[in-house]
Amino acid sequence: MSSTPTSVTVPGPAVPARALKIQSRLRMSATWALIKPYWKSDDRLAGLGLLALVVVLNLGIVYINVLLNEWNRVFYNALEQRDYASFKVLLVRFSWIAAFFIVAAISRQYYTMMLQMRWRTWMTGRFMGHWLGHQAYYRIEQTHATDNPDQRISDDLRQFTDGALSLSLGLLNSVVTLLSFVGILWTVSGPISFALGGTEWTIPGYMVWFAAGYAVIGSLVAHVVGRPLIGLNFQQEQYEADFRFTLVRLRENSEPVALYRGEPTEQAGLRARFDRIRANWNQLMRYTRRLTFVSSGYAQFAIIFPILVAAPRYFAGKMTLGGLMQTSSAFGQVQGALSWFVDSYATLVGWKAAANRLIDFQEAIRIAERQDESLHGTRDIEVAHTGQPQGGITVDGLALALPVRSARSAAVGQRPLVSPFSLSVAPGERWLVSGPSGCGKSVLFRALAGIWPYGSGTVTMPEGARMLFLPQRSYLPIGTLADALAYPDAGTEHSAEVLQAALRQARLAALADQLDVFDNWSLRLSPGEQQRLAFARALLQKPDYLFLDEATSALDEDTEGAMYRLMVESLPRAAIISIAHRSTVAAFHGKRLRYVPQDGEAAQAAQAGLPGVSYRVVCEA
């Protein structure tokens, strides 16, 4: 077998220029809608208190800079006059000013980080609540409305809150600095006079106008050069998350990949995904190089620019050395304040890319939440409760459909799958659901669980009925075996004796002494052990309605029969509804729900595995 990686096509081509242009938009109103809710939340008082403290510390640092500016004038005048006594006094004064500056800077950083974490904590809770609410996380995956929600909740939220605070506080600091130093620069720079066209012109506070013009030109150039970085950063985060997800998926499926000898294909797929990262990174390098050229050149020339502009007055004897240094310092503060946009542009584009990803993620969540309402003129599947604890499940006019995502928009349409049918399941009944693969048997279970919005009809449940769904591969959380067994309850809600008894009944006696072992049980246990663990979970949950979706597919016939007998004997009043292909399972069920194609032509298409086939349901007692 060759070890040379094969060529593979990775889903998700590079984002086209039009999409990149959309991702580069500023979308300020939507960004403000992300920022505003925290400052109106229950945590707003603590947040506003920290923000006020940070603002006061910022103002204090600006005031210290004003003192340092004045100190520059006096200090360099003392050097020019060789005044040693004043020189010593000024050094002591500088020590005190520097000490206060260090304390203020450290405090500002500390409380800014505290505010960042409070804001991030609140936003993370809010996004997770909406993502997990209404099964939005499930519906987003069904329609592929957005990519890598885990990365958006973890990385993008962190970058958004950190960037919002650092940029806004930096802007505030620049405004206050500008207001504090513009008067100083206006006074110390004085007027400049020159002749133009035979007319004498005088510009008062000319250094202020030079600083403003210098900053405006630099800001415009930086924006023109650096704006594409917003879309490129957006793409880079997406590609990095795709690559990381593929690595995690390979780790979780290491055994089947090893059995298939699939390493060359996996390596080729990983390389292809990384090539997308590298290609986008190359574009980032080019645009970042241009932006760095602009910002670095801008910053370096700003060092000498005020000296060049003020030099004529100094050499004319109209300004002392101290005045020259004070002018240079004040010009630097004013120019730096006006240059906030240039200096912060690299941070701004990264923050805006994270904000755009969060905006898209929030919109995907809202679309998922709206799927409880009407979709394209058809009514959703309504799951209601009778208000009575007794009685069974009643299905009335239930039609099932599949989602169809438009290639031209984010709209989600529907393709009919199962024509309307009615059904009644009483307590203690045993139903077997059978039919060709892909006919919609699992979709029926999802509709009964209330998580499938595509189709129409009504499902009525008895009030307070406990329902448990065991899919072919049950979810096992990372944690102790007790937590995996009792899920969604905590392992501590059941005694060790009860948990051990359930394991033994499910033929997992070898695991009875490992309840406190922490592990990734979905990787440690074999598929058959995982399915038996799910049956042990059913013994703990004691559901009124137990739905088994090929829940014994990994078991031998003897163990399969033992698990079904265990359910029938341990849960005599529970209704059991099973999806299974083995004929041996039928012996444990008294009724059948059979899926058949709509007509003969559809039957042939179904046998050939062609898409677009619709089915009808036949109930057999």
394 and 326 within one domain:
no
Measuring CA to CA, which residue among 245, 500, 449, 234 is closest to residue 357?
234
Go through 566-575 and write b for each residue having 16 or more CB atoms within 10 A of its CB, e for each that does not.
bbeeebeebb
Q: What is the sign of the dihedral through the CA atoms of 403, 405, 411 and 414?
A: negative
User: Residue 301 carries which side chain, given as an amino acid letter?
Assistant: F
405 and 532 within one domain:
yes
Measuring CA to CA, which residue among 369, 597, 547, 551 is closest to residue 443?
547
In sequence order, which residues have a C-beta less than 8 Å from that of residue 103 and are 6 or more positions away? none
385 and 366 within one domain:
no
388 and 362 within one domain:
no
502 and 390 within one domain:
yes
Q: Exposure of 16 by Cβ count < 10 A (0-12 exposed, 13-18 middle, 19+ buried)?
A: exposed
> Over 310-341, what HEC string results?
HHHHHHCCCCCHHHHHHHHHHHHHHHHHHCHH
Q: Looking at the domain assignment, is residue 12 inside a domain? A: no
In whole angstroms, how far apart are CA 614 and each of 333, 406, 415, 592, 595? Answer: 72, 20, 9, 19, 10
Give the model's pLDDT for residue 600: 58
Give the model's pLDDT for residue 608: 52
Q: Which two tokens stand for residue 135?
A: 């099964």
* Residue finishing a domain among 351, 370, 389: 370
Q: What is the DSSP secondary structure assignment for residue 375, as one 8-state letter?
A: B
CB-facing half-sphere around the CA of 588: CA atoms within 13 A: 24
Q: Looking at the domain assignment, is residue 298 inside a domain? A: yes
CATH number at residue 117: 1.20.1560.10
Give the model's pLDDT for residue 516: 92
Q: Determine the Cα angle at 533 with ends 527 and 538, to 5°.
A: 130
Q: Looking at the domain assignment, is residue 11 inside a domain? A: no
Q: Which two tokens stand for residue 373?
A: 């309402």
Residues of the chain where predicted confidence (pLDDT) is lower than 50: 1-16, 18-20, 22, 372, 374-379
Give the model's pLDDT for residue 253: 75
488: cis peptide before it, omega within 30°? yes
Q: Looking at the domain assignment, is residue 8 inside a domain? A: no
Q: Looking at the domain assignment, is residue 584 inside a domain? A: yes
233 and 133 within one domain:
yes
The count of domains in the chain is 2
* Residue finishing a domain among 370, 403, 432: 370
411 and 347 within one domain:
no
Q: Looking at the domain assignment, is residue 375 inside a domain? A: no
**394-445 pLDDT, tens per residue?**
888 888 888 776 655 555 678 888 888 888 999 899 999 988 888 888 888 8
462 and 393 within one domain:
yes
Give the model's pLDDT for residue 374: 40
Q: Looking at the domain assignment, is residue 287 inside a domain? A: yes
Q: What is the DSSP secondary structure assignment for residue 584, as one 8-state letter?
A: G
Give the model's pLDDT for residue 6: 38
What does the alpha-carbon distance between residue 440 and residue 519 come to, in Å, rounded to a whole number?
A: 34
Give the model's pLDDT for residue 49: 94
296 and 388 within one domain:
no
CATH number at residue 512: 3.40.50.300
Whether 526 and 534 have beta carbons less than 8 Å apart is answered as no
176 and 58 within one domain:
yes
Q: Looking at the domain assignment, is residue 10 inside a domain? A: no
What does the alpha-carbon distance between residue 455 and residue 450 come to, in Å, rounded to a whole number?
A: 12
Question: Residue 609: which domain range?
Answer: 381-620
Instruction: Check: pTM over 0.75? Answer yes or no.
Output: no
Whether 154 and 120 have beta carbons less than 8 Å apart is answered as no
